[in-house]
Structure 1
Amino acid sequence: MSMAETLKADTDRLFTRKRLTNFAIPGAVLAYLVYVFFAFDVPGLAQRASLENARTLVADSYSYKTHVTRDNRNGEIEVAIEGERKGRYPEGTAPDWVAMGETTQIDLGDGHVVFFGPETITYDIPGYGLVEATPGRSGVNAILPEGDLPDWINASKNRLAITTEAGRVTITRNRSEVFRYFTGWELFWFTLDSPYHGLSTGEVATRALSGEAGAIVSDIWNNGMWRHKDVVWAIFETILMAFLGTFGAAIVALPLAFAAARNFSAFGALRFAMRRLFDFVRGVDALIWTIILARAFGPGPLTGALAILVTDTGTFGKIFSEALENVDNKQIEGIASTGAKPIQRYRFGVIPQIVPVLLSQILYFLESNTRSATIIGAITGGGIGLMLTQAIITQKDWEEVSYYIILIILMVVLMDWFSGWLRRRLIAGDESGR
């Protein structure tokens, strides 16, 4: 075979291999994605997904419910925002769409009217008809219009639930409840027992200028429904956990990094031990350390800070030791030529070289740990993460969940801006901080 033919054969084999590789890699990725699609039961997930529940969840995030509840055993009626005692209307009072009396009339709008009678509850539903229900010891005796039961009515012996666009009515043996949605976050500033509730912004501003500013701020700060005071303290705890954990880890990791760096530690066994220590503490996730430390020290923000400190000590130790191994020896030799002692060589020959790397990484991790502290706080019982978890578990006041999520996002954005500004001031020397 001639040289030209041999070269052509080798070229053909090369191109064949490349073509197979180019087709094999996408094929393998596609096969993996198909496996994941069925392994995680994506078709079943799509079938189980409920758009109605999703709509309800979204609606709950920007609206609130006013509950009208009757105790079927004694006939007492109470009206409360979100059904909470802290949002309960004073006895004998109610919003204008609720007419209290022997027979209480609840106007849900658009022709939907519910009556709480002495014995029987009636609901006149436009386009469907009159629904009557009489709760008693034997259950709920319901009389419905003839025909098939619509999907928005759930009826059984002991319970009747009707959900319409106007609101929801639930009747059981012991309790009858109606709630109606309204857009907004009610009682966000002032609760019902505040003298400033119901006043316009202009009226509140006028009172503030008249010498009532302190009382107004106190009512907002001590709001029992939205707990602004507790929320501010929880955010402070979250930031404090991130700050203590991050900077504590940096302080611990820096001297250990010298022992792990090749050009500063002559003992191979010591370097090996330090590097394995860094691998161990950073190899275990911060959430795992949180659970372990919570068993040892109990719940609290300090436990969360310690979990961040332990994990970041390993990460910082690795980063700092690598930075130390890349320092310029000429600068150290120049300091040594002046007769400087080893500590002085480190202070003036090494530290100035690695400070930009150290500060950059520390400030980045401070920003990242602010997010992590939210989740860690949910486990250790501290910070805004705990309040968010509690609000989610109740599955009742999703507007509070939205409020906490918005605050967490703002907190992360603020920390991102602050760390970037500080990094520019300390490292780049940008006086404007832009």
Structure 2
Amino acid sequence: MAVDTFDEPLFDRDTVWQNVRRRALLTVGVPLAVLAYLTYTWFAFGVPDLLARAQPERAVILGTDSVAYKVHVTKLLRSDKMEVAIEGERRATYDHDKLPDWVKVTGKDAVVDLGKGYLVDIAGKVVHFTVPGYGTIKVTATDAGVDTVLPPGPVPDWILDNPRKFDARPTLDRRLQVTRSKIEVHNYFGGWENFWFPFHSQFYDLPFSELWAIALSNERIDPDQSNMSLILDEFLSNPDWQHREVFIALFETIMMAVLGTLTAALFGLPLAFLAARNFTPSLIVRFGIRRLFDFLRGIDMLIWSLIFIRAFGLGPLTGALAIAFTDTGSLGKLFSEALENIDNKQVEGVRATGASQVQRYRFGVIPQILPVFVSQVLYYLESNTRSATVIGALGAGGIGLLLVETIKTSRDWENTTYIILLTIVVVILMDQTSGWLRRKLIEGK
């Protein structure tokens, strides 16, 4: 019986070695390349400098200001006058016979009890600040600045002491500032003060049950309007929170998104027929329409808004036009692709009945692309609600413009938080509404 012999090995060692080296290179080389890229971007983008300039304590302060309010106890040294006000606002100044119980004013001097042993005693131009665990700080306002006497030992990092200004913040919710012109104490409290009604409103600080009783009462406070209307008007006219302006701006933002999206859908659908291969045989027409789509969606929505702001000025119309131009290109491309993927058998079936061209489109084409049409339009409507906020910040109006104005002040962070929360609520409602419409129109539920 013959025995087969094999002079060559069952595998090529060189080939195997090359495969091993290739896999080793991929296993080690790719992570090294990613690490090198991240290292480059770390220094190219100046991350070390950014971290060095970061002020996390300021972020904590701003976060506190967004969910709390502070009461200012101020001694104006030039006029020798004492004021107690919420957020330092003149229109939210307490009358001297209705001061908070933690402030005791005697003539032109005051004692401020900040709680837990923190005590501020203001006598003339001299302040004694008692801090538990540290001691008593004495600060005197002079014509040149301030003179400070600190307890013996190292100066803690929560004290800023220089000849022009003294600033002490032993805790996040307690602060003392002294300059040659004023002495100011800050005491923080949780919540949004004056959110419902202005400080001097007749409805200020009333419990909900009493407000409801007044609203339903037949005895009118103002003979010209009902109590319910008066309470609502007091709420909307709140000068600190500007509820009426905020709600109008939210409505403008929603209308900006709706008008822009619907305009894009109405123009994008007929243009999509001209861009689809199976509906437009002319290569020149298809090429021109598709390049038009590329041009419209290739320029970002923010750039379009800047162009229209320069052309037509500020206002919601410029935002709606920016959304319409960008989304006409995006939706037109999506619709044309959906048209190219339809089933021609359904169109041929409608044609066999003797239907006209319009009828073939209506009964053979539209039902096939309707789910894509509705789904994409609703998705873009939801997305454009967020985009309209950003566009509004550039000057197109709406809630975005109000948001930027509150951020620029660097002090009304509770108003900024209020606007952000309302924007999130609107986006959630738009998401739920678009989902409900999608189910009703597509699934029939």
| Fold agreement, TM-score > 0.5 | yes
| More moved, 366-375 vs 133-142 | 133-142
The answer for the alignment partner of 1:217 in structure 2 is 232
- In the alignment, the residues of structure 2 paired with residue 85 and residue 385 of structure 1 have an alpha-carbon distance, to the nearest angstrom, of 28
- CA distances 1:172-220 after superposition (whole Å, capped 9, x unpaired): 2223221110011111112221222222233333333434433322222
Asked if structure 2 preserves the Cα contact closer than 8 Å seen for 1:87 and 1:225, the reply is no
Amino acid at match of 1:403: Y
Which residue of 318, 323, 329 corresponds with 2:338? 323
Q: Residue deviations 1:14-39, cap 9 Å, x none?
A: 45434433443333223323333333
| Letter paired with 1:249 | A
- The change in CA–CA distance for 1:343 and 1:147 in structure 2 (over 3 A counts) is same
SS of residue matched to 1:164: strand
Equivalent-residue separation in structure 2 for 1:91 and 1:386 (angstroms): 38
Match of 1:21 in 2: 26
What RMSD over aligned residues (CA atoms) do the two structures have, in Å? 2.3
Q: In structure 2, what is the equivalent of residue 335 of structure 1?
A: 350
Question: Which stretch of the first structure deviates more once superposed, 72-81 or 30-39?
Answer: 30-39
Quote the residue 1:247 is aligned against: 262
Residue correspondences, number: 430
In 2, distance between residues paired with 1:234 and 1:176?
39
1:398 has 2:398 as partner: no
Aligned partner of 1:120 in structure 2 is 126
Say whether residues 1:422 and 2:437 are aligned partners: yes
Which residue of structure 2 aligns with residue 348 of structure 1? 363
Which residue does the alignment assign to 2:201? Answer: 194
Q: Percent identity over the alignment?
A: 50
| Counterpart for residue 184 of structure 2 | 177
Q: Residues 102 and 314 (structure 1 numbering): CA distance in 2 closer, same or farther, change over 3 Å?
A: same
2:99 corresponds, among 94, 102, 118, to 94
Q: Distance in 2 between matches of 1:140 and 1:10?
A: 83
Indicate if the aligned counterparts of 2:81 and 2:108 stay in contact, CA closer than 8 A: no
Kept in 2: contact 1:370–1:412 (CA 8 A): yes
Distance 1:197 1:68 in 2: 21
Q: Distance in 2 between matches of 1:151 and 1:15?
A: 59
CA displacement at 1:92 relative to structure 2: 5.7
Tell me how far 1:422 sits from its aligned partner.
Answer: 0.3
Q: 1:57 aligns with which of 58, 62, 73?
A: 62
Amino acid at match of 2:200: D
**Which piece of structure 1 moves more, 39-48 or 395-404?**
39-48
Shift of 1:268: 1.2
The equivalent position to 1:408 in structure 2, one of 423, 429, 440, is 423
After superposition, the C-alpha distances for 1:388-432 in whole angstroms (9 at most, x for unaligned) are: 2222222212222222222121111111111011001001111xx
Please state if 1:274 is matched with 2:279. no
**Alpha-carbon offset, residue 281 of structure 1:** 1.3
Aligned-partner Cα distance in 1 for 2:228–2:7: 99
1:38-73 deviation line (CA, Å, top 9, x unaligned): 333444444443342232232222211111223221
Q: Which moved more, 1:1-10 or 1:322-331?
A: 1-10
Aligned-partner SS, 1:116: strand
Say whether 1:309 aligns with 2:324: yes
State the secondary structure of the residue aligned to 1:389.
helix
1:294 aligns with 2:309: yes
**Residues 172, 92 of structure 1: alpha-carbon distance in 2 compared, 3 angstrom cutoff:** farther
2:7 and 2:215 map into 1 onto residues whose CA distance is 100
From the superposition, tell whether residues 6 and 103 of structure 1 become closer, same or farther in structure 2 (CA, over 3 Å): closer
2:276 is aligned, of 238, 261, 285, to: 261
Give the letter for the 1:239 counterpart: I
Is the contact made by 2:196 and 2:235 (CA closer than 8 Å) also made in structure 1? yes
TM-score (norm 2): 0.89
1:74 aligns with 2:89: no
Question: How many Å apart are 1:338 and its aligned residue?
Answer: 2.9
Structure 1 residues 85 and 252, CA gap change in structure 2 (3 angstroms): farther
Which blocks of at least 5 consecutive residues in structure 2 are unaligned?
1-5, 219-226
C-alpha contact (below 8 Å) 1:86/1:224 kept by paired residues: no
Q: Return the offset for 1:93.
A: 4.1
Following the alignment from structure 2 to structure 1, what is the Cα–Cα distance between the partners of residues 75 and 393?
36
Post-superposition Cα deviations, 1:140-194, rounded to whole Å, max 9, x if no partner, equal: 3334344443222212222111112251111222232211100111111122212
For the structure 1 residues 2 and 38, does the alpha-carbon distance in structure 2 shift closer, same or farther, using more than 3 Å as the test?
A: farther
Aligned to 2:117: 111
Q: List per-residue Cα deviations over 1:96-140 (Å, max 9, x = no partner).
A: 222232212222222322233333333333343433333343223
SS of 2:217's partner is: helix
